[in-house]
């Protein structure tokens, strides 16, 4: 049958094309579609070079025009769109042709994950370029001409072999995102000071011995990552960076923390794995907005009382230091959810207490404050009107600590007198953990206007009640080690919920209502039987930073999960899936997400 189709004069008609001559690497249909859409995605096609007709896509008359002059309006080549987005990622390109200048309308050029050793100077002519991704290549230098791209907003150069940068870097005045991590840089051009629109700067994993003080002029900078360099000090002028929110200084050679008088917005300071010995009150007292302070694996000997000025602190990590005593007033930090102290020679705190978790630790510290200062003006907890049975109720906890606690009693129900004792006191935390509760106590709804933190862990609760769904101020829910199999849709009403701990229950599926609670920052679902997750729904959860799915029944990890870029901690160990392999998981969240993104089918 084949021979009849061939034209008479074609000697090869009817024979299959010889194996040595592959089909076109870029099908004509893709080119045709790109002329209409202005976008061309050629990622993952094993290209060792970019075919000439791609560079000339907006110059050459399309072939169809020669063959068929009666084509319809839809194909009129003179009405084509200029190419604005070209993706050449994950190929085998060793160089890019200077012909890139034939695409002057490009706003996005993505050539990440190739084998480029240099970039064409013609890139400097793409004056409309806004995003350039040349990460994961083998670039040793950047052409000066690149500095002419005055509209560039995002420049991704991570995972290359750059040892220096052009001095004119400061000309990229519109740059908002610059990633230079995982290169061989030993210094930063002083002209960086001119990048006043830069919001995110990543310098992690280089060989920087110091930072130029001038970068303090980057007045829009919110995130600065200098992890894993050789910094011994941080310029004191850094303290004037008024927009800075996240500062990563882990794995350097710092001996002390910088002072931050002007960083009123600084929310996260990560300085673990340094050689910090002293924590000064001066270093801390201005950080009114700080919510994360990470100082693990240093040589800190003591913690100043002024740490209690950090009223917004939520996470304090002091593990593996040389701390022998702590200010008990730490227990009064109102927002503290996570306190790590293990690996310190603490004299006053028994080791088994450290294993019990943050809430127990804070409770212990608070109990010690009362030993330290017995307050003379405080009303006696037992009044003449107190019922005899109420004496087992800790009124001090209710009135001063705003805590309603009835835990480790092996109780099947919470006694009514517990709720009666609350009266009009605004209780913010409830701890009914480690009992034998089969259901959530219905009277918990009486606390709905004040309670934010509920711990029902280690009970026998099989379903979430509607009363719980009415606690509209709830930010933390710990219901680990129960027998839950699902969550009700009504939980969607918990719009402020930030942290939910569902580990050690009996979920077979990811509870779909969680996808709609957009305030969630942490979902702990380890040790269940969850079989799948929906990455497109997760991507909408733009606050989600931690997702723990260890020890579940995930048979595969959807590659689109890699697009959930807000995730800082993704835990997947102990599932039956084959990929990503353990070696990839061991590299940490960023590497796993990057690996997953690389596997998204295009």
Question: Does residue 9 carry a pLDDT above 50?
Answer: no
Question: Does residue 391 carry a pLDDT above 90?
Answer: no
Task: Find the mean pLDDT for residues 578-595.
Answer: 90
For the chain, the average pLDDT equals 86
The Cα 221–Cα 441 span in angstroms is 48
Instruction: Give the whole-number percent of the chain exceeding pLDDT 90.
Output: 63
Task: Find the mean pLDDT for residues 572-576.
Answer: 91
Task: Find the mean pLDDT for residues 349-376.
Answer: 73
Task: Report CA 503 to chain centroid distance, whole Å.
Answer: 21
DSSP 282: H
SS3 label, residue 301: coil
The Cα 129–Cα 326 span in angstroms is 54
The Cα 392–Cα 373 span in angstroms is 23
Task: Find the mean pLDDT for residues 495-506.
Answer: 95
Question: Does residue 251 carry a pLDDT above 60?
Answer: yes
Greatest alpha-carbon pair distance for the chain in Å reads: 114
The pLDDT tens digits for 258-289 are 777 667 889 999 999 999 998 887 778 778 88
324 contacts 299 by C-beta, under 8 angstroms: no
The pLDDT tens digits for 216-246 are 889 899 999 999 999 998 887 887 888 999 9
Question: Does residue 14 carry a pLDDT above 70?
Answer: no
pLDDT recorded at residue 384: 33
The pLDDT tens digits for 35-68 are 999 999 999 999 999 999 999 998 866 555 555 4
The torsion angles phi and psi of 228, rounded to 5 degrees, stand at 60, 65
336 contacts 311 by C-beta, under 8 angstroms: no
- Residue 392 banded pLDDT, cuts 50, 70, 90: low
Among 105-109, 113-117, 365-369, where is mean pLDDT lowest? 365-369
**Opening angle at CA 238, ends 237 and 241, nearest 5:** 110
Instruction: Give the whole-number percent of the chain exceeding pLDDT 70.
Output: 88
577 contacts 558 by C-beta, under 8 angstroms: no
Question: Does residue 377 carry a pLDDT above 50?
Answer: no
The domains found in the chain, sorted by start residue, are 27-59+78-149 (3.80.10.10), 395-598 (3.80.10.10)
Cβ burial, residue 456 (10 Å; 0-12/13-18/19+): buried
- The model's pTM is 0.59
Q: Higher pLDDT residue, 3 or 65?
A: 65
Question: Does residue 86 carry a pLDDT above 60?
Answer: yes
Q: Higher pLDDT residue, 467 or 5?
A: 467
- Residue 76 banded pLDDT, cuts 50, 70, 90: low
| Residue owning tokens 């995003």 | 131
The pLDDT tens digits for 124-171 are 999 999 999 999 999 999 999 999 999 999 999 999 999 999 989 999
- Residue 2 banded pLDDT, cuts 50, 70, 90: very low
The pLDDT tens digits for 284-310 are 877 888 999 999 999 999 898 888 889
Question: Does residue 1 carry a pLDDT above 50?
Answer: no
pLDDT recorded at residue 454: 96
């Amino acid at each position: 049958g084949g021979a009849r189709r061939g034209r008479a004069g074609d000697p090869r008609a009817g024979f299959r094309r010889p194996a040595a001559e592959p089909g076109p690497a870029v099908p004509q249909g893709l080119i045709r579609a790109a002329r209409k859409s202005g976008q061309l995605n050629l990622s993952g096609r094993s290209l060792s070079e970019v075919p000439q007709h791609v560079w000339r896509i907006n110059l050459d008359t399309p072939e169809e025009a020669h063959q068929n002059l009666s084509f319809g309006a839809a194909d009129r080549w003179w009405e084509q769109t200029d190419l604005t987005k070209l993706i050449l990622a994950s190929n085998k390109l060793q160089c890019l042709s200077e012909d890139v200048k034939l695409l002057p309308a490009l706003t996005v050029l993505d050539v990440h994950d190739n084998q480029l050793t240099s970039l064409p100077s013609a890139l400097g002519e793409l004056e409309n370029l806004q995003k350039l991704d040349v990460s994961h290549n083998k670039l040793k230098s950047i052409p000066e001409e690149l500095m002419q791209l005055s509209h560039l907003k995002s420049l991704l150069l991570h995972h290359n072999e750059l040892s220096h940068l052009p001095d004119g870097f400061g000309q990229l005045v519109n740059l908002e995102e610059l990633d230079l991590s995982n290169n061989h840089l030993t210094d930063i051009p002083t002209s960086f000071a001119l990048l006043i629109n830069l919001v995110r700067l990543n310098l992690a994993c280089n060989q920087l011995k110091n930072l130029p003080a001038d970068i303090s002029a980057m007045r829009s900078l919110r995130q600065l990552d200098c992890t894993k360099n050789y910094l011994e000090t941080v310029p004191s002028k850094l303290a004037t960076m008024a927009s800075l929110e996240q500062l990563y200084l882990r794995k350097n050679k710092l001996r002390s923390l910088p002072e931050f008088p002007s960083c009123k917005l600084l929310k996260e300071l990560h300085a673990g794995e340094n050689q910090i010995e002293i924590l000064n009150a001066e270093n801390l007292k201005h950080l009114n907005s700080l919510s994360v302070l990470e100082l693990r694996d240093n040589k800190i000997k003591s913690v100043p009382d002024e740490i209690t000025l950090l009223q917004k602190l939520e996470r304090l990590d002091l593990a593996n230091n040389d701390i022998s005593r702590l200010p008990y007033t730490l227990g009064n930090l109102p927002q503290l959810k996570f306190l790590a102290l293990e690996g310190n020679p603490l004299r006053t705190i028994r080791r088994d207490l450290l294993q019990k978790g943050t809430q127990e630790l804070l409770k212990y510290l608070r109990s010690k404050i009362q030993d330290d200062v017995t307050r003379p003006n405080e009303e006696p907890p037992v009044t003449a009107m107190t019922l005899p049975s109420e004496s087992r109720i800790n009124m001090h906890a209710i009135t001063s600590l705003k805590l309603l606690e009835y835990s480790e009693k092996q109780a099947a129900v919470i006694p009514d007198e517990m709720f009666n004792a609350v009266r009009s006191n605004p209780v913010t935390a409830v701890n009914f953990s480690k009992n034998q509760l089969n259901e959530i106590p219905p009277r918990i709804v009486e606390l709905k206007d004040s309670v934010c933190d509920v711990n029902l862990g280690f009970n026998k609760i099989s379903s979430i009640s509607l009363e719980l769904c009415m606690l509209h101020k709830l930010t933390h829910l710990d219901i680990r080690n129960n027998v839950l199999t699902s969550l009700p849709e009504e939980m969607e009403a918990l719009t402020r919920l930030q942290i939910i701990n569902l580990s050690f229950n009996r979920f077979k599926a990811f509870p779909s209502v969680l996808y709609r609670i957009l305030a969630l920052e942490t979902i702990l679902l380890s040790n269940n039987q969850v079989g799948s997750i929906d990455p497109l729904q997760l991507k909408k959860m733009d606050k989600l930073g931690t997702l723990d799915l260890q020890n579940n029944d995930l048979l595969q990890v959807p590659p689109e999960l890699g697009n959930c870029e807000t995730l800082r901690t993704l835990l997947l160990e102990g599932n039956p899936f084959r990929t990503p392999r353990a070696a990839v998981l061991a590299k940490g969240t960023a590497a796993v997400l990057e690996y997953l993104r690389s596997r998204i089918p295009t």
